[in-house]
Amino acid sequence: MKNLRPVGKGAFDAEVEGSANLPYTVHVDTAHVRQSYCDCPHAAGTRRICKHMVATVFAAYPQQIDAFKWEVEQAELEYKREEEAHRAELVRYVNSLKKGELRKALLDALIELEERRDRWW
């Protein structure tokens, strides 16, 4: 990160090192995110957000890093809780099936797996 400088309210310019020889030129506008840009291959000429923009925002607002980490952790915990609840529901469903129903459910699942492989993999 070089030459981080504010260029208006919530807007910053910076040069950020990447995989190219020269650093990327980055502009982030936290009020108008879509006006942010970076000349790296991922973002140049698009409206995509790239890691150089994210790095610039965190360099400009270092106190936001902890808040962001906390939010990511909360989201991950929530996802894990939902996944565990769903898994428990699945276990209850399978345990409720009779032998014939189990055979049919297993066969349907195996056939679906094979069909997916043919279609997408």
Contact between 60 and Zn ion by CB under 5 A: the answer reads no
Q: What is the dihedral of CA 11, 18, 39, 51, to 10 degrees?
A: -50
Contact between 55 and Zn ion by CB under 5 A: the answer reads no
Contact pick of 14, 28, 40, 55 for Zn ion (by CB under 5 A): 40
Contact between 28 and Zn ion by CB under 5 A: the answer reads no
CB-count exposure of residue 70 (10 Å: 0-12, 13-18, 19+): exposed
Please state the φ and ψ torsions of residue 87, each to the nearest 5 degrees: -60, -40
User: Which two tokens mark 119?
Assistant: 């279609």
User: Given the complex with Zn ion, which of 16 and 76 has the nearer CB atom?
Assistant: 16
Contact between 52 and Zn ion by CB under 5 A: the answer reads yes
Which stretch, 1-9, 52-60, 90-98, 105-113, contacts Zn ion (CB under 5 A)? Answer: 52-60
Contact between 43 and Zn ion by CB under 5 A: the answer reads yes
